[in-house]
Amino acid sequence: MSAYDAADLAAQTKAGDDTALAKQEKKFYKEYLDDTGLKQYMGSGNNDVIQVNMKLIDGGDTIATPLVQQLRGSKKGTKTVVGNETKMHASDFLMRPNWVRDGVTIDKAQTQKSYIDLLRARKETLKDSARDIAFYNCLEAFTSVGKKEANYDAKESVPQTNPIATATNTEKSAWQDGNGDRVFFNAANGIKVAGDFDGSITALQAASQPTASQVLNKIKDEAQRRNRITGPTSRYAIRPIRGSGNRKEFLVLVGTKVFNWIENDEEIKEFYKHAARNGIKNNRYFQDGDIKYKGLNIREIPEMDEFNIASDIGTINFCGAQSLALAVGQRLRHTKRDETDYGFISGVGFEELYSYEKPFYGDKNVDEIAPPMKQMNMINCFVKLD
């Protein structure tokens, strides 16, 4: 069983839309999203970490994702509001979904099944492919330093994001400087080298390692402090995720290296020790491999280590609502191969039109004419790991 090459992909065509096929597609889509482990953070609301925006479009077209921002400098008392309204710099983030396609071929010696039976027989292979593509696309979006339309490549299914691994130092430096309250190095601004991201990383590597609780508390304080600042020079808040009972929480996504560093922090271990007295099942700090600490839901994603910019540097992705966006131009459809080599080769696959992107907006609180690009509701913190 071989994967499609370029000629195979060109030979695909859409399959019929019968009831059995529609059910198969719906189940396949649900299962592969579940398998990514990220579906629990997705939704169409403004309170979801990954906001999903669906709109039927053709490849290459854009989908506008509205960004929810907050008013500042509220008026109080009986003073006149007319003429003194707070200016709200509303904006949409234009996303450009890509085609995602894959398939498998089966020769006559392997099967004599119908099309729907072929799909079911190759379901796990196709589902693994769909899951891995979506999963890594999403993880890469967390590393984006901005929107770069020149990166968009429909043929190679490359989105318009600008991942840190391939961005130039000039691009990374503009991101660092334009996101002073969203990009940290050991959560200490003293390490940051203005106008030189690579210089900031070099300074970070020479710095001593802080404790995990120091870094997490600093980032959380910064996010909440911004929530309370008002006035014409204020910054937009890192908007928390609102849970049941109006609880305000943040999601922290990290790789295994950073997770182990957090898990072995003495202050956090002390939290665990006291919580464990009630039994592990009732322990609200450590559940299902996650860490819950002072309103932070810390989730380990081992594959995030693959995106670390150096072996001794880890990344903390501190997320509020609308940290990422998923634009869907076409839901998953199953496909079948047209070219059969005189009836000897069959093929089945799938196609989708989507993109995961980190939303950016022009921060007109800083400059209304030439606003710097600010990421929406995420803090990226780079930490030294011994």
**Highest mean pLDDT: which of 172-186, 216-230, 274-288, 360-374?**
172-186
Is the C-alpha dihedral spanning 54, 57, 58, 61 positive or negative?
negative
Q: How far apart are CA 9 and CA 31, in angstroms?
A: 24
How confident is the model at residue 96, as a pLDDT? 92
pLDDT tier for residue 85 given thresholds of 50, 70 and 90? low
Give SS3 for 186.
coil
The mean pLDDT value for 49-69 works out to 84
Phi, psi (5° rounding) for residue 25?
-65, -45
How confident is the model at residue 10, as a pLDDT? 36
How confident is the model at residue 285, as a pLDDT? 52
At 142, list the tokens: 């967390």
**pLDDT, averaged across the chain:** 83
How confident is the model at residue 3, as a pLDDT? 41
In this structure, which amino acid lies at residue 270?
E
pLDDT at 82 over 70: no
Other C-beta atoms within 10 Å of 297: how many?
19
How confident is the model at residue 4, as a pLDDT? 38
Comparing C-alpha atoms, which of 244, 234, 237, 184 is closest to residue 214?
184
Does residue 214 contact residue 222 with C-beta atoms inside 8 Å? no
How confident is the model at residue 251, as a pLDDT? 96
pLDDT tier for residue 7 given thresholds of 50, 70 and 90? very low
Does residue 383 contact residue 258 with C-beta atoms inside 8 Å? yes
Q: What is the DSSP letter of 86?
A: P
Phi, psi (5° rounding) for residue 333?
-130, 145
At 93, list the tokens: 């983030």
pLDDT at 11 over 50: no
All structural domains of the chain with their residue ranges? 39-68+88-278+285-384
Share of the chain above pLDDT 90, in %: 48
| Segment 324-363, tens digit of pLDDT | 999 999 999 888 877 666 666 778 888 999 999 999 988 8
Residue appearing with tokens 């979801």: 48
Q: How far apart are CA 15 and CA 331, in angstroms?
A: 14
Q: How far apart are CA 266 and CA 273, in angstroms?
A: 10
The mean pLDDT value for 114-126 works out to 77
How confident is the model at residue 259, as a pLDDT? 96
Q: Does 109 or 304 have the greater pLDDT score? A: 304
Among the listed ranges 9-13, 42-46, 120-124, 354-358, which one has the minimum average pLDDT value? 9-13
Residue appearing with tokens 């979904």: 97
Longest CA pairwise span in the chain (Å): 83
> Beta strands 98-107 and 345-357: pairing type?
antiparallel
The mean pLDDT value for 36-53 works out to 93
Q: How far apart are CA 298 and CA 365, in angstroms?
A: 31
Supply the DSSP string of 21-80, one letter for each residue.
HHHHHHHHHHHHHHHHT-GGGEESSTTSSEEEEE----TT--EEEEEP----S---TTS-
Q: How far apart are CA 239 and CA 129, in angstroms?
A: 34
Does residue 269 contact residue 262 with C-beta atoms inside 8 Å? no
In this structure, which amino acid lies at residue 262?
I
Other C-beta atoms within 10 Å of 137: how many?
20
| Segment 294-304, tens digit of pLDDT | 889 999 999 99
Beta bridge partners of 248: 242
Beta bridge partners of 328: 54, 354
How confident is the model at residue 71, as a pLDDT? 53
> E strands of 68-158, at which residues?
91-95, 98-107, 144-147
Does residue 136 contact residue 143 with C-beta atoms inside 8 Å? no
pLDDT tier for residue 77 given thresholds of 50, 70 and 90? low
pLDDT at 81 over 70: no
Q: How far apart are CA 63 and CA 65, in angstroms?
A: 6
Q: How far apart are CA 216 and CA 291, in angstroms?
A: 12
